[in-house]
Structure 1
């Protein structure tokens, strides 16, 4: 079966802020609400990393508020890294001071991009879902940033599982805020074809990675060649970079004029 090799990246970019140790959460807390701290340089570094990939999923990208200098960071990265297709999903706003979004950058034209709010005790989480190729056989790429609480994560994972239940060619990437042994994750593996990570990579904290809380999960029909954890500028999470073989028929709509 003919396949196409794609490179995917999942990155929690922390809105371009810099965190180099636990003390920075206190001493640099101002950088999460003010447009300072050399965020533009951090975004340029992330753009350099993203440029090497075909599809990028972003978490904690600011869609345009005070802390980003009213810059839509997903759009900025798309332009700097040369991606012709981009989309974002604003999930949480704190007035005009700070906002948070999931983002998609793609070199392939999506057939459709869907915005699905996720349940939870505190509102502000969502699933950004992009469909490539024909119908149910097409490639589905889903991007999520889950809650800190286990009960909310369980509700969110059940919702995600419903969206991906019948997808033979699916990728789910993002910041799950939990390690792969957590029981709430099992709903994904019971109700979808997504496979548990065979080699969980520690991604948090970025300066001394100890916890595997960021994932790039795939279904068996997508052959995973490589998975690496890489710095995303000075974010507190490492990014995940994957190389996949995708059946050509799952991307067939890409050829349609």
Structure 2
């Protein structure tokens, strides 16, 4: 069967048909996003073809919708998930006025930008080990007045932040290594492995974060990270093993499990 080509007068129905044939469940919504993002017929054809062969929609159109914001997302950069909006909402409820916020393992910088947008007078810092993520995050974070650093976890952050961070967002990778191959192809094949792989039990990166978190948190400061429901008990144990107190917060609507950790002397 021949596949209809796209020209400048291509109707939305043609795009929808091609996307639906490729297995896109929300073909109508995706068609509208792609057609809005394409500058001309040639780009529209290219974008539809990229989506048809399996690239994440966000990589095709170059952005993700997150907390009501349009976050730029480059190829291979982790796409912020809607469930993570719950983490941002919880962080906003806990943040003090004029908060110092750090977004660790920031990816596109979506979490930090969304939190900064929800609050007033935020001092925002972000960091990631992946150079591609850092380049992408800088375009998102700079308009929010923040800075992005390249390096491993806390290492690239200004030393002067130690003991001053009010909200530490750390959406660490938490997929066990052996389960990477079980992820949807959009994530498995097109997002950086470093943004997905949490080690043998999925908690390797988390343990490194909580081991240093206390010295970076301000009095009353909190660390928030996402995990899976089945990993929650082990994650809480990891937090406790690092001398922090943890509580588990959930959002059933978004299917989100968030751990909120703090220093014992600030509770």
- Bin for the TM-score computed over the shorter chain: 0.3 to 0.5
- TM-score, length-scaled by structure 2: 0.41
- TM-score, length-scaled by structure 1: 0.42
Which of the two has greater strand per residue?
1
Greater C-alpha radius of gyration: 2
